[in-house]
Amino acid sequence: MSSAHQADPGAAPSAEAPDPSGPSGPVPIIDGLPPGPRERLLGLVTRRELDPGATFMHEGDVTKSMSIIVRGRVALRLRVPERGAVTILTLDPGDIVGWSAIVPPYRATTSATTLEPTELATLPADDLRAILASDNEVAGAFLPRVMETIAARVEATRDQLLDLFRGAEVDPW
């Protein structure tokens, strides 16, 4: 892991389009769902085009949306004392950003910054939580995909910790 450059805090999305079938076509993860849940979730989707260096989620802030990367790459960054923002994971198309939007207390555990021109399929947190609470078919189809993402992040963290402490003579705790 290397220290990442701070993103320009004034960086903003370059465009936002409400059409879920937007310029890049299918939405990863959602397009693999059965027709009913797929259509209901796509009804919530807003497409966002972001320039490189746009920070669209900030560690510690309330997560206002969950996004799926359609195109581009996103760095997840963590504030580390005396080091600043450190990239802990890089996400690619099909990955979820902001799963904390559906997990209380709904606060981002990292910041998310685009590394290249990026298109996101964004689901507003309040609307997503409402449909997951009221529609068992959507919840049953979508939540396992979210859990796969969370499980992959836990595994990646475990691997990083093993690398960090490999060869250490004493337990770090």
37 versus 4: the higher-pLDDT residue is 37
Please say whether the beta carbons of 44 and 131 come within 8 A: yes
Predicted confidence at residue 157, as pLDDT, reads 82
Number of CB atoms found within 10 A of residue 127's CB: 13
Average pLDDT over residues 10-26: 49
pLDDT level of residue 17 (50, 70, 90 thresholds):
very low
pTM, entire model:
0.80
Higher-confidence residue: 22 or 49? 49
Domains of the chain: 13-165 (2.60.120.10)
- Gap between the Cα atoms of 146 and 123, Å rounded: 13
72-92 pLDDT, tens digit per residue, is: 999 999 999 999 999 988 999
Neighbours of 132 (CB within 10 A): 18
Burial of 25: CB neighbours in 10 Å, binned 0-12, 13-18, 19+: exposed
Model confidence band, residue 170 (pLDDT cutoffs 50, 70, 90): low
**pLDDT of 5 higher than 70:** no
- How much is the average pLDDT of 96-120? 97
